[in-house]
Amino acid sequence: MKLTVLSPEDEDQREQAVLCELFAAGLSDYHLRKPSWDRSRMAAWLRSLPSAQRERVVLHTHHDLAHEFAVGGLHERDVALATEDAHAVRPHDARILHSRAVHDLAMLGASLNRYDRLFFSPVFPSISKPGYVASIALSTLVPILTLPRRAKVFALGGITVDRCAVCRSLGFDGVAVLGAVWHANDPVNAFRNILAAADDVHAS
């Protein structure tokens, strides 16, 4: 299974140094989500990141910075799709990844061929957002996740080493983590452990 990491929501003095180590340890892309940051603060963060790593960043806000910093992807804000547009297919651009988050079965089904990547959350009780728990039976995901689709669907929320196998059994293509890495005393080691678990699931 694939593994991606979401950024801390606000300032974390460790972040860019740790991120360099995560890329070296096998992280393919990084979702930069700072909902309270203004454009200038986001631009400064991107500017201070080594240019070779910017193409591995998926930008969640201030999408107008994408061209200037040549980021690798854009994540749509978590807003409802218009009814008449729910099944429209977004033009595919192999140069950039398009993603969004979905939180219910109807939105998941409507988005399968609109995006390159979907985050379905919360799958398990969130580590970074206490009290944020799944509102559906996980078994109800299986019929949707076995459909032919363009999007790779990632499980988000409460992902730990021992839950990777469960995610794979449900039909997820990958897992996304935030709290399991950034709340750990050693974020890089925590990432390596989850990556190893995801690789073991893939190999099996």
Whichever domain contains 192, its CATH number is: 3.20.20.70
Decide: residue 159, CB within 10 A, 0-12 exposed, 13-18 middle, 19+ buried: buried
Q: Nearest CA to 26 among 197, 195, 203, 147?
A: 195
Total of domains in the chain:
1
DSSP 8-state secondary structure symbol assigned to residue 90: P
1-40 confidence digits (pLDDT tens): 999 999 999 999 999 999 999 999 999 999 999 999 999 9
81-134 confidence digits (pLDDT tens): 433 344 444 555 667 999 999 999 999 999 999 999 999 999 998 888 877 777
Which residue range is the domain that position 105 belongs to? 2-203
